[in-house]
Structure 1
Amino acid sequence: MKYGMIATWRMAYEGIIDTIPKLKDGLSCGEALVESIKKTEDYPFFKSVGFGGLPNEEGIVELDAAFMNGDNFDIGAIAGSRNVKNPIEVAENLSHERFNIFLVGEGITKYATKNNFEIKNMLSDRAKRMWEIRLEDIKNKGLTPYDGHDTIGMVVLDTKGSMAVGTSSSGLFMKKEGRIGDSPLSGSGFYCDSEIGGAAATGLGEDLMKGCLSYEIVRLMKEGLHPQEAANKALYDFDEKLKKLRGKSGAMSLVCMNNQGEWGIATNVEFSFVVGTDTEEVEIYVANPGPNKTTLVEVASQEWLDAYEKRIKKPLD
């Protein structure tokens, strides 16, 4: 029985390490995905997802999330959610609707309240202080306001051969009110087909949505490419094209897995990810772009892990 989970960033580890044994025991891919991402959303020190997510320029946390069922292409998504405790949970619930599967703004709150999802103020004291510090830096040091766009994107394969993909993010730090990135957009932030595989993205949404890279990776896997080959080709070809057409390319990273539990990733920046399968223990990796459109991957060192923990919990001035 093949099964597996792969997700963007170190912050996915706790969710995957807790959930993958249940996946082995028969938990469905959708249930495993929602349970795992909720764990990330609830941890306040992960500053780009859920509670403690980074505010927009007005100091308001606006969250995006999406869910896709690879068996039947059911999709649910929300964008600009301000007070729903677990956006991924609402996105998954929307995927069961026939109409109105993508909600924004106040419509999310009304839907969540009607369906008994928990409502919560998503601005943590720490996130508020980070916002205040950034305002001071912009005023006094002339620094750019934009930073932090680390989406959790996850692909899950269960023992029945079904697949699901999901995303959750607070988006770009100090973004304009109402700004939406690639995370809730099908084909850009995520895509999944249980007969082939799934992919999810993280990085600068304004560039990722220009390429529909999650769909492209799945398309390439359908043509017979191994997930690593598909990820390399999709990302590095597009990165090259953006630089040719526009002179630059923002941060872009993608993870993918096929319906055999084989996986791949590609990135144009240093990027961490988490993966575990029926044949591989759950592990945190660090990836970097390599020569000739390849990706270099190594297990995260203890030094890297310690530095990460210190960084996310660093006391604020």
Structure 2
Amino acid sequence: MKRRNFIKKTGIAGAGLSLAPGLISSSAINHNYMNENIPVAVATWNFQNATKMAGSMLESGATALDAVEKGVMVEEANLRNTTVGNGGAPDRDGNVTLDACIMSPDGNAGAVVYLKEIEHPVSVARKVMEETPHVMLAGEGALQFAIQQGFKRKSLLTEQSEKDWKNWLEHKKYQPIINIENHDTIGMLCMDKYGDIAAACTTSGLSYKMNGRVGDSALVGAGLFLDNEVGGAVGTGMGEAIMKSVGSFLIVELMRLGKSPQEACKEAVMRTVRQDPRYKKFQVAYVAMNKKGEIGSYCIHKGFSYAKFHKGESSNNESESYLKE
């Protein structure tokens, strides 16, 4: 009887196991494989090397969180990019200070601001998210934490950046240049084959900013925001304007209410246009993605674009703008 019961039970269990793969497979097909839009990586500006890194990882099965971190790290290490990471333009006192934030699909987040001498602030931000009870660390505390986590200190002021800074000191004039803004933040969104979204944003901020200035890039809700049930958004341009409108959070909430990524990005930009009479003097731009993998973008001034990597193809995509000239 015991043996018969055992066979009976294992037979039932086996039947259950045989059904489970079919159920899982069906769910996976409906949720992932039938969605032709994913996996996908998008980033502010024409940072195609970054989206190619992230997108290739996604296509190889990496999680959105791993892909978005590695993707923006490409630009943090790019010495030719004087607006992000190593080689970033300094503040008015000659300090290269970095801001970064990362968000995971479960809504967790980590950030660092005014971080010196660490090439990859986004990775420190991830450590803040995963190894501490906090969301943000700043200045000397962020540097101390990074060192404790094994990051190596290095000078981030390159010979060219120092030369440019000294030239700037001769006249000490700060004037934002449309679509340059003296900075080009990289904000990135990744959706993996499971439909999970992660986001990251990293920058050295405004060139020749006041010592201690922190922009929108490391602020959850401003430079980036996501809700894995809805979608995500990242911003770039004049950080102060993005901070005042909490633009990325606004976009996600608008998508929650049924707007497309394109419609939501446009409304976020128009909030700034309506509220700030100086809007013609600076750029604000957003890129958003919903859970379907649909992408939208909108900006104030013509000239902003976003990079995309999908199905092995890399592209630079011009954004719609409020001002056409």
The TM-score bracket by the shorter chain reads 0.7 to 0.9
Q: How does 1:1-317 map to 2 (within 5 A)?
A: 1=33, 2-10=38-46, 12-69=47-104, 71-138=105-172, 143-144=173-174, 147-243=181-277, 250-269=282-301, 270-278=303-311, 281-290=313-322
Residues 243-266 of structure 1, C-alpha deviation per residue, up to 9 Å, x if partnerless?
2xx676632111111121110111
Q: What percent of counterpart residues are identical? A: 31
CA separation of 1:235/1:290 partners in 2, compared to 1, >3 Å: closer, same or farther? closer
Inter-partner Cα distance in structure 1 for 2:279 and 2:143: 40
Residues 75-104 of structure 1, C-alpha deviation per residue, up to 9 Å, x if partnerless?
100000111110111111211145232011
Which residue does the alignment assign to 2:30?
none
Inter-partner Cα distance in structure 1 for 2:116 and 2:272: 33
Residues 99-129 of structure 1, C-alpha deviation per residue, up to 9 Å, x if partnerless?
2320111111111111112321111111111
Displacement after TM superposition at 1:136 (Å): 2.1
Inter-partner Cα distance in structure 2 for 1:189 and 1:158: 21
SS at match of 1:233: helix
Aligned partner letter, 1:239: V
Asked which structure has the greater CA Rg, the reply is 2
2:53–2:67 Cα contact (<8 Å) kept:
no
CA separation of 1:212/1:249 partners in 2, compared to 1, >3 Å: closer, same or farther? farther
Which residue does the alignment assign to 1:303?
none
Inter-partner Cα distance in structure 2 for 1:216 and 1:124: 37
Any stretches of 5+ residues in structure 2 without a counterpart?
1-32
Displacement after TM superposition at 1:286 (Å): 2.9
Inter-partner Cα distance in structure 2 for 1:191 and 1:266: 16
Inter-partner Cα distance in structure 2 for 1:277 and 1:89: 24
Coordinate RMSD, CA, aligned? 1.9
Displacement after TM superposition at 1:38 (Å): 0.7
Any stretches of 5+ residues in structure 1 without a counterpart?
297-317
1:242–1:249 Cα contact (<8 Å) kept:
no
2:245–2:272 Cα contact (<8 Å) kept:
yes
1:261–1:277 Cα contact (<8 Å) kept:
no
Which residue does the alignment assign to 1:306?
none
More helix per residue: 1 or 2?
A: 2
Aligned partner letter, 1:263: I
SS at match of 1:160: coil
2:41–2:54 Cα contact (<8 Å) kept:
no
Aligned partner letter, 2:72: I
1:275–1:284 Cα contact (<8 Å) kept:
yes
Normalised to the residue count of structure 1, the TM-score between the two structures is 0.85
2:53–2:70 Cα contact (<8 Å) kept:
no
Normalised to the residue count of structure 2, the TM-score between the two structures is 0.83
Inter-partner Cα distance in structure 2 for 1:51 and 1:58: 17
Inter-partner Cα distance in structure 2 for 1:277 and 1:226: 20
